[in-house]
Structure 1
Amino acid sequence: MEEKQLTRINKYLSEVGYCSRRAADKLIEQGRVTVNGEVPEMGTKVGPDDEIRVNGRLITEPEDAPVYLAFNKPVGIVCTTDTRVEKDNIIDFINYPKRIFPIGRLDKPSEGLIFLTNDGDIVNKILRARNNHEKEYIVQVNKPVTKEFIRRMRSGIPILGTVTRKCFAEQTGRNEFRIILTQGLNRQIRRMCEYLDYRVTKLKRVRIMNIPLDVEVGKWRHLTPKEVHEIQNMVSDSTKTHQ
C-alpha cells in the first residue's frame, strides 16, 4: 500500500464520525483501540485494508454516512438535481459516488461557494437559520459604485413583493462591492442592482456561514468534522421540521 493512502488513526476515527481526534488519542492511550488485533502506538497510520476496533467493536465508514461538501461552482453550471433536464448540472459535474444535493442555489451566471450534502436535516436547519446563515459575495457591476448605491443596498430594496432585509455592504473597487446577506430570494443581488439601474457583470459567493471559499474553481472538498460541528451549533435553534 502506498504511503499516501494511509491516514493517522486518530484522524481516521474522526473522519468516519466515531469521535474527535483528541478523544481518539485518549482511547489509543488507554489501549482501547486495536489495529489488526494489535494495540497501536500513537501516530500509527492505517489504510482501507486495516481492521480497526474500539472496545472490540469493528469501526467502518457506514454507507449512509453524512456527506458535506464545499464546492466552487463555475459559471455555467446549474444547481439542480434533475440530471435529465440540464446537461450542465451540478450533480453530473461533481460526479460524487453517493447521492447528494445542493443546499440553496447559485444561479447559472454566478460562481463561488455552495454546499452539497445528503443530510436533509441540516439543509432544513440552515435554510431556516435566518441570522446565522450569512452569505458573502463580491459583485462587479457595469458602472461606478456610488455612496448612494451602497446606502440603498444596505437599507433594503423592494423586490419580489417585499423589501430586502438590511444588510452589510461596502465598496471594494470602482465597479465592485462586497455584500453579506441573510436572505435567499431568487436572484436577489441581481434584482437589487437592477432596481437601482445597475447590471451585475460578475457575482462570486466567497463565504457561507463559517466556511470561506478556499478551493479552486470547479473543485470541491469535504467539510471537516470541526466545520460541520460549528454549523450544527450555529443552526441549533432551528428545528428539523415545522412545529
Structure 2
Amino acid sequence: MERLQKVIAQAGIASRRKAEQLILEGKVKVNGQVVKELGIKVNPNQDDIEVEGVPVEKEEPVYFLLYKPTGVISSVKDDKGRKVVTDFLEIEQRVYPVGRLDYDTSGLLLLTNDGEFANLLMHPRHKIEKVYVAKVKGIPTRDQLKLLARGVKLEDGPTAPAKVKMLSVDRRKQTAIVKLTIHEGRNRQVRRMFETIGCEVMKLKREQFAFLDLSGMNPGDVRPLKPIEVKHLRELAVTKKS
C-alpha cells in the first residue's frame, strides 16, 4: 500500500505536490469514488485510480541525462512549434524535465517520469549543487566575485551563498569566463546574479548536476542514468536536506 499522491507522482502525471493539490480539489477518484484526503493509501496494482477522468497507468520509472543544446525549450511541448527537450528521446514513457534550463542556456538536464524523484531533487530544502560556466561581458573584480559568493539581492529575494571561480580573462575583448556553483534553481538566476554586478552573460552552460557531468557527450546527446546514479541522487538529496 502506498500513499495516493505518491502513486500519482510515480505514474508521471504530476509532482507529488501537484498531486496533493489535485486530490484536495476533488479531481482524483479511487475505485469510482472521489477522494479528498491526502493520507489515504492505495494498492497501485489493484485499485482503479483516475485523475481528472483519466485512468492512472503506472509506468516503469525511467531516468535520462540530456546534454541540452541552446535554442531548445525545457518543456514537453511548445505552442510556438520550437524544439523541446523531449524531442531528443524516442521512448514510450511520458517524461518531463527536472527543473529547467533557459532557451539560450545549454548543458546538463535530467528527464524522468518519476514525479517523486523530480520533486525530491527540485525542492528548495534539498541543496543539490549545480555548476555553471558563464562567458560574461566585462571582467568582474575580486570584490564583485566575493559579492556573488556571499549572495546578492534579486527582486525575488537574496540568493544563498555560492562558489565562484574565475577561469579565464580576455582583456582585449573585455570578457571573462566564470564558474558559478549554486544549489538554488530560480528562473534565469545565474544571468540575474551576474547582472547585479554589471556583467551581461553572453553564453551559459550547466556543466554539472550534483556528481553528474557531461563527459563524453555532445549537445543533443542523451543517455539513461545508471541505477547506482539514481540511488546516489536520492541519497544525496536526503543528506543535503536542511
TM-score normalised over the length of structure 1: 0.68
Q: How far has the Cα of 1:238 moved from its partner?
A: 9.0
Q: Distance in 1 between matches of 2:240 and 2:162?
A: 21
Q: Show the counterpart of 2:22.
A: none
Where does residue 225 of structure 2 map in the other structure?
223
Q: Give the structure 1 partner of residue 119 of structure 2.
A: 124
Find the residue that maps to 2:194 and give its secondary structure: helix
Taking the TM superposition and a 5 Å limit, the aligned residue runs for 1:170-181 are 170-174=165-169, 175-181=176-182
CA distance in 1 between counterparts of 2:228 and 2:124 reads 19
Q: Is the 8 A contact 1:113 1:206 kept in 2?
A: yes
Q: Which residue of 1 aligns with 2:152?
A: 157
Q: Match for residue 10 of structure 1?
A: none
Mind listing any 5+ residue stretches in structure 2 that lack a counterpart?
1-57, 170-175
Aligned residue in 2 for 1:206: 207
Q: State how far apart, in whole Å, the 1-side matches of 2:230 and 2:64 are.
A: 10
Alignment-derived partner of residue 190 in structure 1: 191
Moved over 6 A (4+): none
Equivalent position to 1:236, from 206, 222, 238: 238
TM-score by length of 2: 0.68
1:54 maps to which residue? none
Point out where structure 1 has 5 or more consecutive residues left out of the alignment.
1-62
Task: Quote the Cα distance in structure 2 between the aligned partners of 1:192 and 1:121.
Answer: 30
Q: Provide, for residues 137-190 of structure 1, a one-character-per-residue CA deviation record: whole Å limited to 9, x for no partner.
A: 111101223212211110111112311001111111110111110111110011
CA pair 138-238 structure 1, distance change in 2 beyond 3 A: closer
CA contact (8 A) 1:83 1:92 kept: no
Among residues 90, 110, 118, which one is paired with 1:115 in the alignment?
110
Question: Computing the radius of gyration over CA atoms, which structure comes out larger, 1 or 2?
Answer: 1
Q: Deviations over 1:95-140 (max 9, x none)?
A: 4332100000100110000000000000111112645311001111
Partner Cα distance (1:85, 1:95) in 2:
21
Residues in 1 aligned to 2:240 and 2:212: alpha-carbon distance in whole angstroms = 19
Report sequence identity in percent. 28
Aligned to 1:99: 94
Deviates more, 1:101-110 or 1:187-196: 187-196
Aligned residues: 177
CA contact (8 A) 1:145 1:176 kept: no
Cα RMSD of the aligned pairs, angstroms, is: 1.9
